[in-house]
Amino acid sequence: MTTVFERATPADGEAMLRIQIRAFESDAALYPGVEPGGPPGYDSIEGLLDRIQQDETVKIVHDGEIVGGMTVFDKGNGHYHLDTLFIDPEYHNLGIGSKAMEYLEQAYSATKWTLDTPLYAVRNQHFYEKFGYVKAGEWQEEGTGLILIKYEKSG
């Protein structure tokens, strides 16, 4: 089984959007009381295509099939922010997420990484902490009321 990471193109948008929706909405099955959904625009092809064209958006390809993606923002001065990381729920627990985190650390010469994850997403918290991220605070997302945990890691 091979997993590769490639810059996403607009032609990848539809496939990546379907996976992104499944990935974010799968949280509702894992966490009681959580409604299906995701971050603002998670289900918008326009939003995903904008990220593909304007930001560092990478598709995750496993055995020749797109199974996920991630978007990284360059905040300047060696600071990178992992905006999204999503993997098709059918491909969870195969080590693909771990390979994605290893890829990020090799592909970007960061001195600082940041990311946010929902307070309810305990599985995500354990995952990021396994890679050395530490909790740096909490904040409430405008418009949704969702409480997010801010994580940081020195590169």
Cα 14 versus chain centre, distance: 17
In the chain, the N- to C-terminal Cα span, in Å, equals 29
Indicate the pLDDT class of residue 67, thresholds 50, 70 and 90.
very high
Helix axes 13-25, 45-54, angle to 10 degrees: 120
> 3-111 sits in which CATH class?
alpha beta
Average pLDDT over residues 54-63: 96
H runs (alpha helix) in the chain: 13-25, 27-30, 45-54, 96-107, 122-130
Report the amino acid identity of residue 86. Answer: F
- How confident is the model over 27-48, as pLDDT tens digits? 878 887 777 777 777 889 999 9
Predicted pLDDT at 25: 87
Q: 3-state DSSP call for residue 17?
A: helix
- How confident is the model over 103-139, as pLDDT tens digits? 999 999 999 999 999 998 999 999 999 999 999 999 9
Residues facing residue 82 across a β-bridge: 72, 115
Average pLDDT, the chain: 93
* 96 phi, psi to nearest 5 deg: -70, -40
Structural domain spans, the chain: 3-111
Residue for token pair 């599985």: 123
